[in-house]
Amino acid sequence: MNQKGPFDPRKEAPLLSAYVDGELEPGDVERVEAHLEANEQSRREVEQLRRLKAVTGAMRLKEPPAEEWEVFWESVYNRAERSVGWILLCVGLVAVGAWGLTEILTALLKTENLPLVVKGGIFVLAAGGLVLTISAVRERVFKRNRTRYKDVIR
């Protein structure tokens, strides 16, 4: 924020919150206090911020029962184990699939009696299938992670 000149409430409104929280540098404190002396609206805003801070500071979260914590940690472990399992499975499938595809393409492309058009068609077909597969998997993962209803229990 600007250290020089008078306090501008339109540009430096966040300084009022920082003032209430005691997070301002001494120069900024002086500027804000000088502004508060002259501006009734800003004084009311600071008082509202102080009341809000007092109310939110007095709030306490309700501790869940021990059974809830147990269910929570079980689900964390299950998700972690399943995530690792899926990652390993996918890496293995990609490795074996890439090897198999490479072997098939190498065998087809080494065949001398295949026309160049067929060889190119095979390559384009394989590339298109790979792109579509990756796209479908990515879309499923994207939708699964962002659905609003995934935690709804019926």
Q: In whole angstroms, what is the distance from residue 85 CA to residue 115 CA?
A: 43
Reply yes or no on whether the pLDDT at 149 is more than 70.
Answer: no
Nearest to residue 31, comparing CAs of 46, 47, 12, 17? 12
Burial class from Cβ neighbours inside 10 Å (0-12, 13-18, 19+) for residue 15 reads buried
Of 20-24, 59-63, 83-87, 145-149, the least confident: 145-149
- 78 vs 96: CA distance, rounded Å: 27
**pTM of the predicted model, to two decimals?**
0.41
**For range 46-58, the mean pLDDT:** 91
Predicted pLDDT at 135: 93
* 114-142 confidence digits (pLDDT tens): 888 888 888 898 889 889 989 998 888 88
Looking at residue 69, the DSSP 8-state letter turns out to be H
Give the pLDDT band (50/70/90) at residue 151.
low
Sign of CA pseudo-dihedral 16, 19, 21, 26: positive
Helices (H) and strands (E) in the chain, counts: 5, 0
Do residues 122 and 105 make contact, with C-beta atoms less than 8 angstroms apart? Answer: yes
The tens digit of pLDDT for each residue in 53-94 reads 999 888 888 888 888 888 888 888 888 888 899 899 989 998
